[in-house]
């Protein structure tokens, strides 16, 4: 779910400007899952732009303060959520830790890095929510550590119905600063895509597993 419509549009425009997001309706990207996709998103690029990095940090912090006011601990989802989460934790004056989708296969075999305490109320930070599976894989580690997950805050989401269902089935919720709908609106407005491309681009979001085959 989107936190603020104005922020969603502003951020989508900024992500397009720095090419953190690329749209190619007719030359799709190939995901590791084998899905074809008209969009490539790498929000780690935002860390190289101080003004944008600050914009994201402040609005993630605002989202968390508004939707999860009882938060006691910020946790980044490895790896892309680590830097973003640390920035937000610093801004909010809260402790920070991070969690891997699975335990390390060497050393202490930890899945959670950082000091956590039983009963702490946690918000996870993700850079991107697609199906939500990578984030949801961390929930069992939080439960094992006896942490209380309030929800997830992300920079961007594709808005898949599958993601909403996955989080719902896991008994959780997520919010994002911007999403695919906002992106298409801004991209059309700025001439990055054509009106004729909209139907094709919307088809992808509705059935990504078969799109472009």
Q: What is the mean pLDDT of residues 144-167?
A: 96
Does position 34 have pLDDT exceeding 90, yes or no?
Answer: no
Alpha-carbon gap, residue 16 to 156, rounded angstroms: 12
What percentage of the chain reaches a pLDDT higher than 90?
83
Its pTM stands at 0.94
Q: What is the mean pLDDT of residues 155-176?
A: 95
For residue 59, the model assigns a pLDDT of: 98
Q: What is the pLDDT of residues 103-121, one digit of tens each?
A: 877 766 789 999 999 999 9
- pLDDT confidence bin for 16, thresholds 50/70/90: very high
Stronger pLDDT, 56 or 207, i.e. the higher one: 56
Does position 136 have pLDDT exceeding 90, yes or no?
Answer: yes
- pLDDT confidence bin for 154, thresholds 50/70/90: very high
What percentage of the chain reaches a pLDDT higher than 70?
99
Does position 190 have pLDDT exceeding 90, yes or no?
Answer: yes
For residue 103, the model assigns a pLDDT of: 83
Range of lowest pLDDT (31-35, 78-82, 132-136, 149-153): 31-35
Picking from 171, 172, 177, the residue whose alpha carbon sits closest to that of residue 153 is 177
SS (H, E, C) the chain: CECCHHHHHHHHHHHHHCCCEEECCCCCEECCCCCEECEEECHHHHHHCHHHHHHHHHHHHHHHHHHCCCCCEEEEECCHHHHHHHHHHHHHCCCEEEECCCCCCCCCCCCEECCCCCCCEEEEEEEEECCCHHHHCCHHHHHHCCCEEEEEEEEEECCCHHHHHHHHHCCCCEEEEEEHHHHHHHHHHCCCCCHHHHHHHHHHHHCCCCCCC
């Amino acid at each position: 779910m989107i936190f603020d419509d104005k922020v969603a549009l502003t951020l989508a425009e900024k992500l397009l400007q720095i090419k953190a997001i690329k749209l190619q309706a007719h030359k799709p990207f190939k995901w590791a899952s084998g899905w074809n996709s008209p969009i490539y998103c790498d929000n780690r690029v935002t860390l190289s732009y101080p003004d944008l990095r600050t914009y994201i940090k402040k609005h993630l912090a605002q989202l968390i303060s508004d939707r999860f006011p009882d938060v006691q601990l910020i946790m980044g989802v490895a790896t892309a959520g680590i830097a973003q989460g640390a920035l937000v934790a610093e801004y909010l004056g809260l402790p920070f830790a991070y969690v891997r989708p699975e335990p390390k296969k060497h050393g202490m075999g930890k899945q959670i890095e950082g000091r956590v305490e039983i009963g702490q109320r946690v918000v996870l930070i993700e850079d991107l929510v697609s199906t939500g599976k990578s984030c949801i894989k961390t929930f069992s580690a939080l439960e094992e550590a006896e942490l209380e997950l309030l929800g997830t805050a992300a920079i961007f989401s594709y808005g898949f119905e599958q993601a909403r269902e996955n989080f719902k089935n896991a008994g959780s919720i997520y919010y994002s600063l911007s999403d695919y709908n906002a992106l298409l609106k801004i991209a059309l407005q700025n001439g990055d895509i054509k009106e004729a491309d909209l139907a094709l681009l919307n088809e992808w979001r509705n059935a990504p597993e078969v799109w472009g085959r």
